[in-house]
Amino acid sequence: MSAPGPPVLECEGVAKEFVRGGQVPFLAVTDLSLTVADIERRGEFICIVGPSGCGKSTLLQLIAGFDTHLPPTRGEMRFHGKPIIGPSADRGMLFQQYNCYPHLSVLDNIAFGLRLHAGALKLSGSEIIEGSMEWLRRVRLAEGDARKYPHELSGGMRQRVALARCLALKPRCLLMDEPFSALDEPTRLEMQDLIVDLWSQIDATVVLVSHSIAEAVYLGDRVWIMGPAPGTVVAEFTHVPLPDPEVPSMVAQSEPRFAECVAEVSKAFFTMLRAPREELVPIHADGSGTNKPVGGAT
């Protein structure tokens, strides 16, 4: 077996301040010291939950390397050992709003990233079409959907298109910001099944922000809880049940073990919300790699 590479993601003492309209700078996130290891042939699935406005999207956009967020005000961020200095096809991002180009067909939407990087990826026109059709099938859209336009699709279908466009580039890391929160419950469960199935086929690390503790527990290998703004990760749960691609999410989420785990994470979440600020100690803050969370997380 080859020697382990550098971690997929490292945040060291990261903080981000925004200056809004000449006012005093607003500290959105602080003391983020996080590591996501590089697990061979199987990325980790990290889920982040936290109260609204605590900086979850800010953290994701710092990882994505968007120029609206870089550089962090303090600290360092590295991806596979290299400083994050901008966006990259290696780090795909999926937003809550279905980010499809309205003037492009489904096929052209999926092909968009492949065409943009065709030179670097050494792809011919026919390889781009074949690759896009392959991803159209893998996100469980019908071949007949290829020529449709986003306005002809449901929300869930548009999110599948956006997912296919991201995954076609084979990112090493997939960042998802509340990707299913605008969907109705059955579609949301279907999308969770799809993500579990696709994640077992790709070796990407996934970082997903969710407003649903149940979704975070279901999908994540690890669940991070962020405290109120300025946000930092104050608890980490590692002993959450892993989803089995063979078991539908609806069935898995009705298991007693699952309900217990959701109750445990929810308890930590609400304890954290009521805790005085000084008790919210960032995880990994002492550099030990161990956690000192509120609410009894392990």
Please give the residue ranges that form the binding site for ligand ADP (CB under 6 A).
Answer: 18, 20, 26, 28, 50, 52-58, 68, 229
Residue 149 amino acid letter: Y
Expressed in angstroms, the distance from the first to the final Cα of the chain is: 29
Residue 293 to residues 244, 278, 281, 296: CA-CA distances in angstroms? Answer: 28, 12, 7, 7
| Minimum separation from the CB atom of position 216 to ligand ADP (A) | 13
CB contact at 8 A, 37 and 4? yes
Closest Cα partner for 62 from 109, 14, 26, 105? 14
| Residue 53 interface partner, choices ligand ADP, Mg ion, none, CB cut-off 5-8 Å depending on type | ligand ADP
| Minimum separation from the CB atom of position 30 to Mg ion (A) | 17
| Minimum separation from the CB atom of position 70 to ligand ADP (A) | 11
Which of 205, 232 has the CB closer to ligand ADP?
Answer: 232
| Minimum separation from the CB atom of position 57 to Mg ion (A) | 3
| Residue 122 interface partner, choices ligand ADP, Mg ion, none, CB cut-off 5-8 Å depending on type | none
Supply φ then ψ for residue 17, to 5 degrees. -110, 145
For 45, left (φ over 0), alpha (ψ -120 to 50), or beta?
A: beta
Q: Is 17 exposed, middle or buried (0-12, 13-18, 19+ CB in 10 A)?
A: middle
Which of 131, 220 has the CB closer to Mg ion?
Answer: 220
Closest Cα partner for 236 from 258, 251, 255, 220? 220
Which of 52, 124 has the CB closer to ligand ADP?
Answer: 52
| Minimum separation from the CB atom of position 235 to ligand ADP (A) | 16
| H helix or E strand, kind and range, residue 9 | strand 9-18
Which of 56, 172 has the CB closer to ligand ADP?
Answer: 56
Which of 229, 280 has the CB closer to ligand ADP?
Answer: 229
| Minimum separation from the CB atom of position 151 to ligand ADP (A) | 27
Site string for Mg ion, 149-188 (x = CB under 5 A): ----------------------------------------
Closest Cα partner for 282 from 50, 63, 84? 50
Strands (E), 63-177: 74-79, 82-83, 91-94, 173-177
* Alpha-carbon span 180 to 159, nearest angstrom: 8
Per-residue tokens: 233: 């990760």
Please work out the total of residues on this chain that contact Mg ion, with binding judged by CB under 5 A: 1
| Residue 270 interface partner, choices ligand ADP, Mg ion, none, CB cut-off 5-8 Å depending on type | none
Site string for Mg ion, 26-65 (x = CB under 5 A): -------------------------------x--------
Nearest residue to the partner Mg ion, using Cβ: 57
Closest Cα partner for 95 from 157, 44, 163? 163
Which of 57, 132 has the CB closer to Mg ion?
Answer: 57
Which of 91, 138 has the CB closer to Mg ion?
Answer: 91
| Minimum separation from the CB atom of position 69 to ligand ADP (A) | 7
Binding site for Mg ion (CB under 5 A): 57
